[in-house]
Structure 1
Amino acid sequence: MGYQVLAQATVAAHFLFLAYLLVGGYLAWSARWRWTVLAHAAVVGWGISIVTVGQDCPLTWLENWARERAGQRGLARGFVDTYLTGVIYPAHYLTEVRVLVGLVVLVSWVGLAVRWTRPRAPSARSAN
């Protein structure tokens, strides 16, 4: 039972990882979350290495390990191939989806660069 819960928690963590990959750059637009740009850069770098080099994801390894200990089969393919490709979007659109994800991340970083380099207008608080 505990290993099955761990496997399911790992699936949830994987979905959160992918969500952060998509929106993490936009979180950094806020002055409050500006520091997250470093974490987002690491997540993007890891995602790129998985796609381009075939780097193994430790979350996939953990899910497979927990599933096997729970008496289940591990994933035959990676997380994205199992839960997203062919389920959320058609498999033949994989390249287009990857390009779209890359564009979403790129737009977030360009927007972040614009926000950081643009001179700030004095706020109403500082004028008083």
Structure 2
Amino acid sequence: MAYRFLADAVMLVHFAFLAFVALGGFLAWRRPRVLVAHAAAVGWGLVSVLVGVECPLTAWEDRFRRLAGEQGLTRGFVDTYLTGVVYPREYLLTLQLVVAGLVALSWIGFALRRRRRPVRR
């Protein structure tokens, strides 16, 4: 039962991480220090998508599910919980481009907001 709880907790953290990758740049508009963590998360997301490196969170969830006596993840996190479930498989590239667009928009907005902000003395 503890392993099932850990697997579910890792799954929730993974969803939160994906949300942070997509929307964390907007959070940086209010909390500028978040931008460094967001850039690192986006970098990891790019490596994961472009190179195909498995996320450690996926491995941890898989391990905990197997220790709990479950099947584990036979595919990656996104393929298991999102692709074919939340959106059709043929829209994966479109969704990736939408997320990239959100990141770019949030960073451009961050830069514009910083440029317009008066210098504090």
Q: Quote the Cα distance in structure 2 between the aligned partners of 1:119 and 1:101.
A: 27
Q: Quote the Cα distance in structure 2 between the aligned partners of 1:121 and 1:67.
A: 52
Q: Quote the Cα distance in structure 1 between the aligned partners of 2:55 and 2:63.
A: 13
**TM score, norm. by length of structure 2:** 0.95
Alignment of 1:4-43 (within 5 A): 4-30=4-30, 33-43=31-41
RMSD (Å) for aligned C-alpha atoms: 1.5
Q: Quote the Cα distance in structure 2 between the aligned partners of 1:45 and 1:119.
A: 27
Superposition deviation, residue 120 in structure 1: 2.4
Name the residue aligned to 2:3: 3
**TM score, norm. by length of structure 1:** 0.90
Q: Quote the Cα distance in structure 2 between the aligned partners of 1:3 and 1:43.
A: 26
Q: Quote the Cα distance in structure 2 between the aligned partners of 1:10 and 1:98.
A: 22
Indicate which of 55, 58, 61 corresponds to 1:63: 61
Q: Quote the Cα distance in structure 1 between the aligned partners of 2:89 and 2:104.
A: 23
Matched positions, count: 121
Using the aligned pairs only, state the percent identity.
Answer: 49
Superposition deviation, residue 117 in structure 1: 1.6
Q: Quote the Cα distance in structure 1 between the aligned partners of 2:115 and 2:78.
A: 36
Indicate which of 52, 55, 68 corresponds to 1:54: 52
Superposition deviation, residue 119 in structure 1: 4.3
SS at match of 2:53: coil
- Give the AA of the match of 2:59: W
Q: Quote the Cα distance in structure 2 between the aligned partners of 1:82 and 1:68.
A: 15
Superposition deviation, residue 39 in structure 1: 0.3
Largest Rg, 1 or 2:
1
Name the CA shift for 1:93/1:15 in 2 (closer, same or farther; >3 Å): same
